[in-house]
């Protein structure tokens, strides 16, 4: 029986425990784990599977269209040990993969964001190298292939400055027997490809945002009325680099509850979710995440629950 799309798409946010148990809970087999970040149409991941069917593979991609293309390839090929995550790679790599769990991470022709004003969008920086030093196995490797020599040189400088990695010399004028779509495009434009390979030789602990991924909630020991909820629209709070804002508040007449639309950001990682305010069987009112949208339980998300409850305890006016 052919596999279905749903088998491949992994959404780690609702998992009770992060980092995820990739071998036991998700793949259900113990095997080397490989990741491709920004997999495009997915041809490299499919070839990787055929070359190493004994590996478990994960593709992380921001484009839902690219995710759909890869999943179509996986269904057509009846390929099982590959999973897809539609999310921000910087956040997912740090939060969803445990220490010493990944054997190889690959990036093929990523967008280098060459303009200085877009520098913060580049994935490769000292923090990214730090995350790799945690999640890669000892001797595990990170590989970058790019058509932009300056980007490879910048990445080489970043990893060279990190004593947890050993670097091979940059491989310039790279020629591969099998190429990716963008690689072929750049080669047709007479651009040379450069490859960087960094090998993990030491490790250091990193701080993760989702240490406890349980559903946050708070109780209110008073009856909640419309005049208490209306002022929550626009409620905003910041603690360091973490912040949230309540964008809207609606009353659900059918279920006797209020629904808030909230946007939260943790060091730039943005999530939109819903918060319920509803009567509880104990006679109190409960503030909790609405299960229809499952965000990662980051400090900003937990802060939103805490601050919304505090505003309801002492309503304005």
Beta carbons within 10 angstroms of residue 273's beta carbon: 20
Question: Which residues on adjacent β-strands are paired with residue 279?
Answer: 285
Whole-number pLDDT of residue 183: 67
Residue 182 pLDDT > 70, yes or no? no
Residues 6+ apart with CB under 8 A from 250: 258, 259, 260, 261
Torsion of CA 47, 94, 16, 249, to 10 degrees: -110
Give the closest residue to 198 by CA, choosing from 158, 149, 147, 146.
158
pTM of the model: 0.90
Whole-number pLDDT of residue 187: 66
pLDDT tens per residue, range 1-27? 455 777 899 999 998 889 999 999 999
Q: What is the mean pLDDT of the chain?
A: 91
CA atoms within 13 A on the CB side of 311: 23
Sign of CA dihedral 168, 50, 68, 87: negative
User: Are the C-beta atoms of residues 208 and 18 closer than 8 Å to each other?
Assistant: yes
Question: Which residues on adjacent β-strands are paired with residue 265?
Answer: 243, 270
- Counting residues of the chain whose pLDDT is more than 90, the rounded percentage is 77
pLDDT tens per residue, range 21-47? 999 999 999 999 999 999 998 999 999
Residue spans of the domains in the chain: they are 5-200, 217-313
User: Are the C-beta atoms of residues 99 and 41 closer than 8 Å to each other?
Assistant: no
Whole-number pLDDT of residue 259: 97
Q: Is the domain covering 5-200 a CATH 3.40.50.150 domain?
A: yes
Q: Which SS3 state, helix, strand or coil, does residue 218 take?
A: strand
> Measured between alpha carbons, how far is residue 5 from residues 77, 83, 121, 137, 208 in Å?
12, 10, 30, 30, 30
Whole-number pLDDT of residue 1: 40
User: Which region, left, alpha or beta, applies to residue 137 given φ > 0 means left and ψ of -120 to 50 means alpha?
Assistant: beta
> Measured between alpha carbons, how far is residue 99 from residues 21, 132, 138, 259 in Å?
11, 9, 10, 38
Rg (CA), the chain: 22
Distance separating alpha carbons of residues 140 and 148, to the nearest angstrom? 24
Q: Which SS3 state, helix, strand or coil, does residue 1 take?
A: coil
pLDDT tens per residue, range 229-254? 999 999 999 999 999 999 999 999 88
pLDDT tens per residue, range 114-142? 777 777 888 999 999 999 999 999 999 99
Of residues 113 and 286, more confidently modeled:
286
């Amino acid at each position: 029986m052919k596999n279905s799309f749903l088998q491949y798409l992994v959404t780690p946010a609702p998992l009770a425990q992060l980092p995820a148990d990739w071998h036991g809970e998700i793949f259900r087999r113990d095997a080397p784990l490989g990741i491709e970040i920004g997999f495009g149409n997915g041809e490299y991941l499919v070839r990787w599977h055929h070359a190493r069917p004994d590996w478990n593979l994960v593709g992380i991609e921001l484009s839902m269209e690219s995710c759909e293309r890869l999943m179509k390839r996986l269904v057509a090929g009846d390929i099982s040990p590959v999973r897809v995550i539609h999310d921000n790679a910087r956040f997912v790599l740090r939060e969803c993969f445990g220490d010493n769990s990944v054997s190889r991470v690959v990036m093929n022709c990523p967008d280098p964001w060459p303009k200085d004003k877009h520098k913060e969008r580049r994935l490769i920086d000292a923090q990214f190298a730090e995350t790799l030093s945690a999640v890669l196995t000892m001797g595990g490797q990170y590989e970058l292939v790019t058509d932009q020599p300056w980007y490879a040189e910048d990445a080489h400088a970043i990893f060279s400055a990190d004593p947890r990695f050993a670097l091979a010399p940059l491989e310039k004028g790279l020629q591969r027997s099998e190429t990716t779509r963008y690689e072929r495009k750049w080669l047709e434009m007479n651009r040379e490809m450069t490859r960087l390979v960094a090998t993990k030789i030491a490790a250091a602990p990193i701080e993760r945002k989702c240490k406890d991924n349980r559903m946050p909630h708070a109780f209110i020991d008073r009856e909640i009325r419309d005049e208490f909820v209306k002022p929550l629209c626009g409620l905003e709070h910041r603690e360091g680099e973490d912040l949230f804002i309540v964008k809207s508040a609606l009353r659900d007449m059918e279920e006797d509850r209020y629904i808030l639309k909230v946007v939260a950001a943790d060091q730039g990682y943005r999530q939109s979710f819903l918060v319920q305010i509803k009567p509880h069987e104990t006679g109190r009112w409960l503030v909790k995440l609405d299960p229809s949208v499952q965000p990662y339980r980051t400090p900003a998300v937990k802060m939103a629950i805490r601050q919304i409850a505090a505003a309801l305890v002492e309503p304005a006016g």
